[in-house]
């Protein structure tokens, strides 16, 4: 249902977080290394066939020149979520700007640097629009987030009042 792409296996440690989220929601995915620069024909084949292969969304992580999400979006009408990946030279800012500054007509939704987890959560949100089961799981997930936040507040309040 979701394709996870990365331009190099060095991106795996970041992009596996997207897979972990999709596992949490029991959403099927596939993961591939396809370079927009080194294997552009492979990327074209993957992206142009993604819809007919049953994918609904593609999450693409890329560092440095970061063309993978944009080129993927150029080859498919499926939503593409870009994950900029940190690099030593420019701290991932080049990746962020490259992904977020797509030309009009070829959008790529973009999350924060190294935030593949949010990329996958965005995919979950999109899929939940047409799948009541995913929507229910997402609502439960959001309630757990809220409860965790409330618990943190209670702990702070307890510490505050213990010192008074």
The pLDDT tens digits for 5-60 are 999 999 999 999 999 999 999 999 999 999 999 999 999 999 999 999 999 999 99
19: Cβ–Cβ under 8 A, 6 or more apart, which residues? 4, 29, 31, 120
Per-residue confidence at 65, pLDDT binned at 50, 70, 90? confident
pTM of the model: 0.93
Helices (H) and strands (E) in the chain, counts: 6, 5
pLDDT at 163 over 80: no
Predicted local distance difference test score (pLDDT) of residue 66: 83
Q: Calculate what percentage of the chain has a pLDDT beyond 70.
A: 99
Residue 62 and residue 123 in one domain: yes
**Helix H or strand E segment including 30:** strand 29-33
109 and 78 within one domain? yes
Measure Cα distances from 65 to 28, 68, 84 in Å: 29, 9, 10
- The CATH number for 88's domain is 3.40.50.1970
Same-domain pairing of 116 and 51: yes
Domain around 91: 2-130
| pLDDT, average across residues 92-109 | 93
User: What is the model's pLDDT at position 21?
Assistant: 98
Looking at the 3D structure of the chain, how many domains does it have? 2
The crossing angle, in degrees rounded to 10, of helices 68-75 and 40-49 is: 50
Q: In terms of domains, do 92 and 162 share one?
A: no
* pLDDT for res 64: 80
Residue 32 buriedness (CB in 10 A; 0-12 / 13-18 / 19+) = exposed
Longest dimension (CA), the chain: 67
Mean pLDDT of 98-110: 94
Residue with token string 């979950």:
124
Domain match, 78 and 148 both: no
Tell me the percentage of the chain whose pLDDT exceeds 90.
91
State the burial class of residue 60 (Cβ atoms within 10 Å of its Cβ: 0-12, 13-18, 19+).
buried
């Amino acid at each position: 249902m979701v394709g996870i792409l990365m331009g190099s296996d060095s991106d795996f440690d970041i992009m596996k977080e997207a897979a972990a989220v999709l596992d949490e929601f029991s959403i099927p995915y596939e993961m591939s290394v396809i370079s927009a620069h080194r294997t552009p024909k492979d990327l074209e084949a993957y992206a142009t066939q993604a819809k007919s292969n049953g994918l609904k969304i593609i999450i693409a992580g890329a560092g440095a020149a970061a063309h993978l999400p944009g080129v993927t979006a150029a080859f498919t009408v499926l939503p593409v979520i870009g994950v900029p990946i940190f690099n030593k030279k420019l701290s991932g800012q080049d990746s962020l700007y490259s992904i977020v500054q797509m030309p009009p007509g070829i959008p790529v939704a973009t999350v924060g640097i190294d935030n593949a987890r949010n990329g996958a959560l965005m995919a979950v949100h999109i899929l939940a629009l047409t799948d009541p089961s995913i929507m229910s799981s997402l609502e439960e997930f959001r309630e757990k987030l809220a409860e965790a936040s409330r618990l943190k507040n209670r702990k702070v309040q307890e510490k505050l009042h213990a010192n008074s």
